[in-house]
Amino acid sequence: MRSFLASKLKRQPEGAGAAGAAGAMRDEDIIINGNFDSGLEGWRASYGCKVSLCDPNALQGIQPRGGEFVAVVSGRTQGWQGIEQDISERVKPGIKYEVLAFVSVAGVSEADVLATAKLEKKDSDTKYMQLGRARASRGTWTRIQGPLLLNESFDKVLVYLEGPPAGIDILVDSVSITTQSSGIVPGKQDYSDVPDTSPSDSVIKNACFSRGLQGWSARSCTLTLDDPHVSPCTGDHFAIASNRTQTWHGIEQDVTGRLSANIMYDVRATVRIRGGLSRAEVLATLYIQKSNMQEQYMTIGRTTASAESWSSLQGCFTIHSMPKRAVIFLEGPAPGVDILVDSFSVCPAKKPEPSPPPSFQNPMFGINIVENSDLHKGLSSWFSMGSCSLRVATGAPKILPPSAKLSLEFHPEFSGNYIVATNRKFGWEGPAQKLTERIQLFLPYQVCAWVRIGGSSQSLARVNVALSVDGQWMSGGEVDASPSSWTEVAGSFRLEKKPSEVMVYVQGPDAGVDIMVANLRIFSVNRSDQYAALKKQADQVRKRDVVLRIKSDKSGTPLRLQVKQISSSFALGACINRINLENTKYVDYFLKTFNYTVFENEMKWGWTEPEQGKLNFREADELCKFCADHKLPVRGHCVFWEVEHCVQGWLKKLSKEKLQAAVESRIEKLVSRYRGKFQHYDVNNEMLHGDFYKSRLGDEVHANMFKQIHRLDPLARLFVNDYHVEDGREANSSARRYVQQIDSLIAQGAPVGGIGVQGHVDVPVGPILRGSLDELAMLGLPIWLTEVDVCSSNEHVRADDLEAVLREAFAHPAVEGVVLWGFWQGCCRSDGHLVEVDGTLNEAGKRLEALRGEWRTELSGSTDKEGKFAFRGYFGSYKALVEKSGGKKVEVSFDVSQDTNTIELRL
C-alpha cells in the first residue's frame, strides 16, 4: 500500500460538481483534505473516539468513490462521537454553503448518520445545527447533503459527522462544503434601492419577490426569477423552482428565530406549475428541528395548482415550543414539474371579532321553497338543463318521503304528478329551477324527493339533486334509482355567502336514460323542535332507575347525601397526535373533557413505514404511553387504507405476491406490537371509496384482513369505517351500500365487531342522520361516530350543528360512542374548532360543555325510613357523600349500568 504521506494532491470529491445538486454552481471547498488524500490532515476525532485511515482491502468489498483512502471512526461509546474539522476561519455569515458527504457504517446493517455544526460564541450558549441526515447502509456509500447558512458570526465553528448508536463504526469516503449560488440564477442583480413589499408582520421576508430572490434558497433545485411567457399575478416578479428531481424539492426560506409559540399563523401563497402536468398538488411545509435534534415536518397549506392560471394556497399552523431551526418551503409536484411562486406570506392570524348569531327574517321553517313542486301548474317555474325535453306525467307516490315526514308536522297528500326528463344527451341534463331570492344565509335546508329512472332493465342509475351556486356544484342528495320503483333521495345544504344565482337541478344517469322526479321539496329546518323528543329518547336509552340502600346508625333516621356522577359510560372522545402533547393547554382540556381517543396519523401505514423496511413506531409508542398513563381507552386507526391516493408509493410498485407479503407483514408487526392496547381497530379505512387492495389481491382480501387481525388480538373489536354514510350526499356510500358491504364481509367469515360512521357532516339534519343510523342498526352491531367534525364560519351555527349531531347520537340506542376529529384551532378542519388557540372556548366549545353538563347526574336528598334513596341517573361511575349522625361525612363509590337496580352502600 502506498503511503498517504507521499500524496499531497487534493482533489474535489466525486459528486461535488454539477451532479451533486441539480445545476448548482460551486466555488471553493472550505473543507481541508476532504478526500483524505493527505491522511488525516485537518481532521480529528470528536469527543474521545478514534479516527484512522483504512485501505481498500479492509473495506470488505466496498470501494472508495474518488480518493484512495477512507476514514474510519471507531471506539465510539456515545452516539455523538465522530470525525470533525474546525472551519472557523473559512466560513462566513450570510453565505450559503452546501454540505456533501459520502458515508457508510460497519457493525450494523444500517444506521442514521448526521452532519452537524457546533457553533460557539463568547458569553452565549453553544448551538448545534443539523446540516444533513441520511440512513447509511453497510457495504455501500450513502450521500448526506444539506445547506449551511450562518446568520451571524461565531468564534468557533466545528463540522462533524455523528449519529449511529455506540459501538457502530462510521466510514467516511469524502466530505465537502462548497459555496454555491444556492441554485439561484438571479434576474435583476441590484435590489438595494427596492423596498420589501412583504406584510410588515410576515415571517417570510421578501414575500412578493420585490427584491428579487433575496432571502430565498433553492431546496436541491434551481431558482430563477420571472418567465417572459407568464405574467405575474401581483407585483412585478415571481420565482421559479426548476430542475426538481424529487417531490420535496422547491423554494425555501429559513425562518429560524421568527416564529413564536402558541400563536396561530395564516399561510397564504399564490402558485402555479409548469412542465408536463396540467394540474398538481403544491404543499407548503414547515420543517422544525427541536433542541433535542428531533426533526418534524408539518404540512401547513395545500392547493391543487394549475399550469394555466395562478392558484391560491391557504393554510394555518401553530407551534408549541421554540424550535432550534425552522424552514418553510414549497413542495409536492412530481419531479420535473416546476413550481412558480408569485407571493408567499406567513403572518400571525388576526383574531376575528366574535360572530353574532345569525338573524333570520321569517325563516319559514318547513315551507317548501321549490315552486310548483306538485306540478299543479304544469311546468311553470321549471326549465330544462341542457337540451333535454320535459313533460308532466302522473303515477308518483302521493305521500312525503320518510325523512321529510320526520321533519314536518303537516303531511299533505300530493297529486301524484311528476316530471319526466327525456332526450338527455349528457349526464348533467334534467329538470331545473332557480331559487336565488328564496334562500336565506346560514339556515340549514333539507332536500327530499321521489325519483325513478326510465328503462325496462333492473339495473340502477345514480340520480343526484344538485345545487349550482354561482356556477359551483354542491350535492343536495344522491341515490341509486331504479326503473321499477320510486326511491327517496334526501340531503341537505347551507349557504354562508350571498350568492348571485342559485339553481337546483336533477341529474346523474347516463345520456339517454330518462329521469322522473316527484315532489322535490327544499325547506329550512328548525332542529331544536326535535330536541324534546331526543331528550326523552336519551332518557330511555342512557339512564336507569336506581335505588341506593344505606343502613343508618339509628333505625329510621334519614341520612342526608349528595350524589354526583364522576364519569360517563357513553364514550365521548377526540383524536390526538404526537405534537399536541407539547401544548399543555391542549392536554389539560383534552383530559378534562374526553374519555376516549384515537391517533390522528401515527398508526397509519404511511406513517409507520413510509419507506419499505424503515419502520417508525416512535410516535405511536409515545402516544400509547400517554394514554396508558391517563387510563384512556384507544381506537386503533387504521391498519390499512383502501383509497389509492392514501397508499404510500412503494406499495404501489409491488407485484401481487410481494404486496400480499407486505400486507401480512404489516398485520404481524403492528398488531403483535400493540396486542391488548387498542380496544378497537379500523381494519381497512374507507372501503366504500377505494379498491387498492381489493383490485390487486382479490375479493377475499378484506375478510382475510379481519381474520388475521382477530387471530393476533382476539379481544379487540374490529370495525369498518367510512364517510358520507350518514348524510345522503353520495349514493356510493349510502347506508344501504354500507349494510351490503358489511353483510358480505360477515358472509365471508370476517369477525366484524362494529360499524364506524365517520361523521364529517357539512349540514347535519336529524331525520337524515337518524334514518341512516336506523338502517345500520338493523345489523345488530354497535355503531360509533368515529371522526365527527362540523364546520361553519359562524361559531353559533357551528355550535348548532354540533348539538344536532351529538343529540342524535346520544339518543340512538345503537350508538356506543362519538369521537371528534379535532377540537383545537389549527388541529381540525377550517372553521371546525371548538377551542381557540389561546385556550378559550368559542360558542361551539361552550355548547359541548353544556351538553356534557346536561348528560351528567347530580342531586342531593335524604333516605326514607327504610334507608333507601331512589333516583334516575345516567350510566357511569358515581360518588355519594353521606352525612351520618353527628355531622361525619363518608364518601362511597358505585356504578350505574343497564343491569343496575338496587345498590347496597356500606358506610
- 376 near 370, Cβ under 8 Å? no
Half-sphere exposure of 766 (CA within 13 A, CB side): 25
Residue tagged 424503515 (cell numbers): 614
CB 328 within 8 A of CB 204: yes
Which one is catalytic: 787, 795, 808, 843? 787
8 Å CB contact between 600 and 575: yes
Instruction: Report the run of H or E that residue 848 belongs to, with start and end.
Output: helix 843-854
Does residue 787 have an active-site annotation? yes
Q: Which three cell numbers stand for residue 179?
A: 459555496
Burial class (CB in 10 A: 0-12, 13-18, 19+), 406: middle
> Following CA atoms 848, 849, 850, 855 in sequence, which dihedral angle do they give, to the nearest 10 degrees?
90
Please state, in angstroms and rounded to a whole number, the distance separating the CA atoms of residues 734 and 634. Answer: 27
**Mutual angle of helices 795-811 and 766-777, in 10-degree steps:** 30
| Sign, Cα dihedral of 821, 822, 827, 830 | positive
Catalogue the long-range contacts made by 824-829 (C-beta closer than 8 Å, 24 or more residues apart). Answer: 824/580, 824/583, 824/586, 824/589, 825/264, 825/318, 826/264, 826/316, 826/317, 826/318, 827/577, 827/580, 827/586, 828/789, 829/760, 829/789, 829/791
Q: Tell me the Ramachandran region of residue 94: left when phi exceeds 0, alpha when psi lies from -120 to 50, beta otherwise.
A: left
Q: Are strands 430-434 and 50-54 parallel, antiparallel or unpaired?
A: unpaired
Q: What is the 3-state secondary structure (H, E, C) of 601-647?
A: CCCCHHHHCCECCECCCHHHHHHHHHHHHCCCCEEEEEEEECCHHHC
- DSSP conformational letter for 334: P
Helix 843-854 crosses helix 584-593 at what angle (to 10 degrees)? 30
Q: Is 901 exposed, middle or buried (0-12, 13-18, 19+ CB in 10 A)?
A: exposed
DSSP, collapsed to helix, strand or coil, labels residue 336 as coil
Q: Which residue has the cell 314536518?
A: 408
Cell of 518: 316527484
Instruction: Tell which phi-psi region holds residue 651, choosing left (phi > 0), alpha (psi between -120 and 50) or beta.
Output: alpha
560-568 sheet: strands from edge to edge: 858-862, 560-568, 876-883, 889-896
**Cα 443 to Cα 77: distance, rounded to the nearest angstrom:** 67
Place of cell 354526583: 564
CA distances from 888 to 59, 563, 869 (A): 81, 16, 19
* Number of other residues whose CB lies within 10 A of the CB of residue 543: 17
> How would you classify residue 107: left for phi > 0, otherwise alpha for psi between -120 and 50, otherwise beta?
left
Collapse the DSSP code of 772 into the 3-class scheme (helix H, G, I; strand E, B; otherwise coil) and give the result: helix
- State whether residue 683 is helix, strand or coil: strand
Burial (CB count within 10 angstroms: exposed 0-12, middle 13-18, buried 19+), residue 775:
middle
Q: Which of 619, 686, 795, 843 is catalytic?
A: 686
Rounded CA gap, 644 and 696, in Å? 11
The set of catalytic residues is 686, 787
